[in-house]
Amino acid sequence: MTQNCCKKTAIFPGTFDPFTRGHYSVVERALNLFDEVVIAIGVNALKKPLFTADERVEMLRRLYADEPRVRVVVYSGLTVDLARECNARYILRGVRSIIDFEYEKSIADVNREISGLETILLFTEPQYAHISSSVVRELMSYGRNVEAFLPAQMVLPEK
């Protein structure tokens, strides 16, 4: 393993409410590029999540229990500040569409200007491009089975 000062760490920020197969795919592929991926669960007082931050942390820690290169944290505030705290030099983002790309490019430009951090975009694999956390939450609100949209090993808390 590389020394800590030289370790390539990426922050993967999001609400992850819930964490989907698309998110899982991005992390799995990122582990081929980085020594560590920090899944950063953002808390936004304006959003009303289905799962609490603690529930999301627990789901992700269970999912990655056997992968020491994945760390799960909760944060509020700017992602660039968290990246500095975690000694991360990269922000990792998944992109499903051209709309996502335009949004992520704007944020990446600002983040680079204010912090010098680079944003790495991984395009979602085609079979997951239609999956979003908001669609999964909506299906769940109607009592639909969402297993096909979540990582196979994901255990959801009872709601």
Q: What is the DSSP string of 46-74?
A: T---SS-HHHHHHHHHHHTTT-TTEEEEE
Q: Is residue 158 part of a domain?
A: no
130 is catalytic: no
The answer to the question of residue 114 being in a domain is yes
Name the amino acid, one letter, at 91. I
Residue 150 lies in a domain: no
Greatest pairwise CA separation for the chain in angstroms: 49
List the one residue out of 89, 90, 86 whose CA is nearest residue 74: 86
**125 domain-assigned:** yes
Task: Please check whether residue 94 lies inside any domain of the structure.
Answer: yes
97 is catalytic: no
Residue 152 placed within a domain = no
Active site residue 144: no
The reply to whether 96 belongs to the active site is yes
Catalytic residue from among 7, 96, 105, 137: 96
- Around Cβ 94, how many Cβ atoms within 10 Å? 23
Residue-number span of the structural domain to which 12 is assigned: 7-143
* CATH number for 26: 3.40.50.620
Distance in Å from the first CA to the final CA of the chain: 41
- The pLDDT of residue 2 is 46
In a domain, 121, yes or no: yes
Q: What is the pLDDT of residue 132?
A: 94
pLDDT at 159: 60
φ/ψ (deg, to 5) at 134: -65, -40
Active-site residue, from 25, 56, 93, 133: 133
The 10 Å Cβ neighbour count of residue 67 is 12
- Let me know if residue 151 belongs to a domain: no
Catalytic residue, candidates 23, 25, 56, 93: 23
Neighbour-count burial of 136, counting CB atoms closer than 10 A to its CB (0-12 exposed, 13-18 middle, 19+ buried): buried
| Per-run averaged pLDDT (10 residues), the chain, 159 residues | 72 96 98 98 87 95 97 96 96 95 96 97 95 94 94 83
Tally of domains within the chain: 1
Show the CA angle centred on residue 3, arms to residues 28 and 58, nearest 5°: 40
Model pTM score: 0.93
Alpha-carbon torsion 155, 45, 117, 88, what sign? negative
